[in-house]
Structure 1
Amino acid sequence: MNLRVIQGGLLDQQLLDAATPLRTSPFDVRREADRRLNALDYDRYLTRERAVGIAVPREIRYLAMQIDFVARTLSSLADIPEDFRSDRYWPA
């Protein structure tokens, strides 16, 4: 059995993929929002509220609402900025 390399195969596709810039997708923005919510430990507060009935602190709930708003707004843009992870877009 003789094997030979086909021109324009996998290696050329990898070079092409590396040369084309990746566009920022709404999924990337949602991942950044989830990362920020995880830093707040928002899931733990929600779980505690559902299990025990202790409300999520107002400041945490409000900040989570702002993060979700920014994520939806950035995701709806036609051209999502490359620096969407910058703190200037997200509430602190």
Structure 2
Amino acid sequence: MIQGSKDWTDAKPSSYAPVRGVDVEDVHAEARRRLKALKIDEWKMREFVTGVSIPDDIRHVALQIEFASQAISRLSPIPSDYADDIYWPRVW
């Protein structure tokens, strides 16, 4: 009878990292990052305080970012390069 060491067979290499797929939350986080770069919260605050509407081009890009986020989130599987600019609207 041959007996092996359980420690040897169950041990994982020290550099082992479980492979994690792209999650929907990752895509939403990328959308939030892009909206933050657009300063959409500042535009919304300005609109709330002053009553002056968000400029149409800013509003349009924000809507495109939200749409892209929803569309990418529905892909199966979500591409690992989801944060690449090819998936998102170009900002000027």
Q: Normalization by structure 2: what TM-score?
A: 0.80
Gap regions ≥5 residues in structure 1: 1-6
Structure 1 position 51, deviation (Å): 1.6
Count residues in correspondence: 82
The structure where helix makes up a greater share of residues is 1
For 1:9-88, what aligned pairs fall within 5 Å after superposition?
12=12, 18=17, 20-88=18-86
Q: For residue 15 of structure 1, report the CA deviation from its aligned partner.
A: 5.6
| Cα distance in 2 between the residues matched to 1:89 and 1:78 | 15
Shift of 1:23: 0.5
Offset at 1:69? Answer: 0.2
Measure the CA separation in 2 of the matches of 1:65 and 1:48: 18
Q: Secondary structure at the match of 1:54?
A: coil
Which amino acid counterpart does residue 36 of structure 2 have in structure 1? N
Q: Distance in 2 between matches of 1:83 and 1:54?
A: 37
Where does residue 88 of structure 2 map in the other structure?
Answer: 90
- The CA RMSD over aligned residues, in Å, is 2.0
- Percent identical pairs in the alignment equals 38
For structure 2, the 5+ residue unaligned runs are 1-6
Following superposition, which runs of at least 4 residues in structure 1 exceed 2 angstroms of deviation? none
